[in-house]
């Protein structure tokens, strides 16, 4: 399939002229139906099963200082998800990588949040048979955003634990990145009602699972721990395991009880949208005396240093 392209940011119709309209935020570039277009022009049919049934998978990678971070791992997970959901695209892995890079380059953003999506699409005859649906690929690049803002990164986040239970893994495989977020959204509202800034929800056994778009780690002594059940194994989560190996720190994936979280020396969350982010309050408990811990700081610093390492990052080719 031929991919329509534009030579520069100025070639995309109205990309710059409409930036003043708040309805068109965020500024960025999307790829849909074989062409690049302003983010504000990227629209999906109401008949697409991705919209009607949350029948889609996606992955998100970020660009920092003009370099994709761990792009290969994100592409690996995206293609695994499509295979598990029996989806197929007319683009190869190399073509998708090229499309993502071109979205970033055309947007001009040196730090970006980049998403690749495959929806079930829809059937030309409105059949309910998913085998008849024409799967659809969408990609976009928008300005980089973080779960935690600069102030929260310095002082640490306040997280509340919701009693909401994560969708059981036997119902929806959490290792396939998906848009089934109603449990996570309910957890967020619970956290806001509590006066916290974000949420963690429980697994089906009553242990800590994950938050809306992030994993969680505790530090107790010289041992780090992160939940293993009912969670998306995040790329940043995997990166923490690798960083711990470099730092000679012990880290395990296992059941994490709520009491362990409250009694931890340090707590942090991990996400492509923000990296490694400290937590200094959980429910009413103050963690680490209310200050960002030394292990968290060590891993945060190493994490960001890796962004310029060619073994961990890929340069964007800007026009």
CA distance 172 to 136: 21
Q: Which pLDDT score, from 0 to 100, does residue 319 have?
A: 85
Same domain for 165 and 264, yes or no, is: yes
Minimal CA–CA distance to 66: which of 9, 102, 111?
111
Same domain for 113 and 81, yes or no, is: yes
Q: Which pLDDT score, from 0 to 100, does residue 81 have?
A: 97
Strand partners, 115: 60, 140
pTM exceeds 0.75 for this model:
yes
Same domain for 119 and 213, yes or no, is: no
Domain span at 253: 150-307
The answer to whether residue 316 sits within a structural domain is no
Minimal CA–CA distance to 81: which of 115, 105, 58, 114?
58
pLDDT digits (tens, 9 = 90+) for 267-295: 999 999 999 999 999 999 999 999 999 99
Same domain for 160 and 206, yes or no, is: yes
CATH number at residue 86: 3.30.470.10
The answer to whether residue 319 sits within a structural domain is no
pLDDT band at 21 (very low <50, low <70, confident <90, very high): low
- β-pairing, 112-122 vs 134-143, is antiparallel
**Whether the predicted pLDDT of 12 surpasses 70:** no
Largest CA distance in the chain: 61
Same domain for 162 and 299, yes or no, is: yes
Q: Of 110, 126, 143, which residue is a domain's last? A: 143
- Arithmetic mean of pLDDT over the chain: 93
Q: Which pLDDT score, from 0 to 100, does residue 24 have?
A: 61
Same domain for 158 and 236, yes or no, is: yes
Question: What six digits make up the tokens of 6?
Answer: 């534009």
Same domain for 46 and 190, yes or no, is: no
Query: SS in 3 state form for 207-269?
Result: CECCECCEEEEEEECCEEEECCCCCCCCHHHHHHHHHHHHCCCEEEECCCCHHHHHCCCEEEE
- Do residues 281 and 159 make contact, with C-beta atoms less than 8 angstroms apart? yes
Question: What six digits make up the tokens of 118?
Answer: 């495959």
Q: How does DSSP assign 121-159, residue by residue?
A: EE-TT--S-GGG-EEEEEEEEEE---SS-HHHHHH-EEE
Same domain for 88 and 198, yes or no, is: no
pLDDT band at 126 (very low <50, low <70, confident <90, very high): confident
Q: What is the mean pLDDT of residues 66-95?
A: 97
CATH number at residue 212: 3.20.10.10
Minimal CA–CA distance to 81: which of 127, 109, 119, 53?
119
pLDDT digits (tens, 9 = 90+) for 35-64: 999 999 999 999 999 999 999 999 999 999
Q: Of 125, 143, 161, which residue is a domain's last? A: 143
């Amino acid at each position: 399939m031929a991919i329509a392209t534009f030579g520069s940011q100025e070639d995309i119709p109205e990309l710059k002229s409409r930036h003043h309209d708040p309805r068109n935020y965020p500024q960025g570039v999307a790829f849909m139906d074989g062409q690049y277009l302003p983010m504000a022009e990227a629209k999906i049919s109401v008949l697409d099963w991705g919209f009607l049934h949350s029948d889609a998978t996606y992955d998100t990678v970020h660009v920092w200082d003009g370099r994709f971070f761990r792009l290969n791992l994100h592409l690996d997970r995206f293609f695994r998800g499509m295979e598990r959901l029996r989806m197929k695209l007319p683009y190869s892995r190399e073509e998708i990588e090229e499309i993502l890079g071109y979205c970033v380059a055309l947007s001009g953003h040196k730090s970006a949040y980049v998403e690749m999506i495959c929806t079930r699409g829809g059937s030309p005859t409105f059949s309910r048979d998913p085998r008849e649906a024409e799967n659809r690929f969408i990609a976009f690049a928008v300005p980089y955003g973080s779960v935690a803002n600069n102030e929260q990164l310095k002082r640490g986040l306040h997280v509340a634990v919701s009693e909401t239970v994560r969708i059981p893994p036997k119902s929806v495989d959490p290792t396939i990145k998906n848009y089934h977020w109603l449990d996570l959204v309910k957890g967020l509202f619970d956290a806001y009602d509590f006066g916290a800034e974000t949420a963690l929800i429980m697994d089906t056994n009553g242990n800590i699972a994950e938050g809306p778009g992030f994993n969680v780690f505790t530090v107790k002594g010289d041992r780090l721990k992160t939940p293993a059940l009912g969670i998306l194994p995040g790329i940043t989560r995997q990166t923490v395991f690798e960083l711990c190996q470099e730092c000679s720190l012990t880290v395990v994936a296992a059941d994490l009880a709520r009491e362990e979280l409250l009694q931890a020396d340090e707590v942090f969350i991990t996400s492509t949208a923000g990296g490694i982010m400290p937590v200094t309050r959980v429910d009413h408990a103050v963690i680490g005396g209310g200050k960002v811990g030394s292990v968290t700081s060590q891993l945060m610093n190493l994490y960001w240093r890796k962004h310029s390492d060619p073994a961990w990052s890929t340069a964007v080719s800007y026009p």
